[in-house]
């Protein structure tokens, strides 16, 4: 199994993950409620987000936390999100970038939960 190396790998990672998340009985409705039929736009944004983090190709500009501040999400949702994310990585990739992706996702999930709890923007 290979590591995450280029934009094709990022696309595979993001598309695989959100295909699972969209079908998840708990997380799916939360995403679909906001995104509705704008999935292509969301996927494109998430591909650029991970391209920026993992490949240092700076195609994402934005505020990652902002759209989450009013979502009905708590620890159990983030745990579920991370579980799917880690599974998708482990099924497709192995290596330092794959490890970094899992570590960064975990850190972001912790940061989002902290911000949600402290009610800050
Ligand atoms: C239960 C967990 C989560 C849920 C339900 C969730 C849901 C969402 C939703 C509904 C959007 C808005 C999409 C739109 O406006 O089109 C969004 C955007 C986004 N999410 Fe999440 N998310 C979760 C966790 C995470 C985590 C852990 C990360 C980071 C690794 C993340 C990164 C992002 C980014 C970067 C955006 C785009 C922000 C922008 O507009 O620039 N999300 N998410």
ipTM of this model? Answer: 0.97
Interhelix angle 75-92/96-118, nearest 10 degrees: 170
Q: How many A from CA of 113 to the centre of ligand 1?
A: 12
Token couple for 96 = 């330092």
Question: Which residue's structure tokens are 């983030």?
Answer: 78
What are the residue ranges spanned by the domains of the chain?
7-118
SS3 58: coil
Express each pLDDT in 21-79 by its tens digit: 999 999 999 999 999 999 999 999 999 999 999 999 999 999 999 999 999 999 999 99
Q: How many A from CA of 37 to the centre of ligand 1?
A: 16
Express each pLDDT in 92-104 by its tens digit: 999 999 999 999 9
94 within 8 A of 13, measured Cβ to Cβ: no
Q: Using a 6 Å cutoff on CB, does residue 109 contact ligand 1?
A: yes
Token couple for 111 = 């940061």
Give CA–CA dist 99/15, Å, rounded: 18
Q: Please state the separation of Cα 39 from the chain's center in Å.
A: 13
Please state the atom number of ligand 1 nearest to the C-alpha of residue 49. 35
Give CA–CA dist 19/44, Å, rounded: 14
Q: What is the CATH number of domain 7-118?
A: 1.10.490.10
């Amino acid at each position: 199994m290979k590591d995450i190396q280029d934009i094709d790998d990022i696309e595979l990672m993001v598309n695989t993950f959100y295909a699972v998340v969209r079908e998840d009985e708990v997380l799916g409705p939360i995403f679909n409620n906001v995104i509705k039929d704008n999935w292509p736009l969301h996927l494109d944004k998430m591909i650029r987000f991970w391209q920026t983090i993992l490949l240092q190709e700076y195609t994402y500009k934005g505020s990652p936390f902002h759209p989450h501040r009013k979502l009905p999400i708590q620890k159990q949702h983030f745990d579920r999100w991370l579980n799917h994310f880690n599974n998708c990585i482990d099924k497709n990739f192995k290596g330092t970038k794959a490890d970094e992706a899992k570590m960064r996702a975990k850190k972001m999930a912790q940061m989002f939960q902290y911000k949600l709890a402290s009610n800050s923007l």
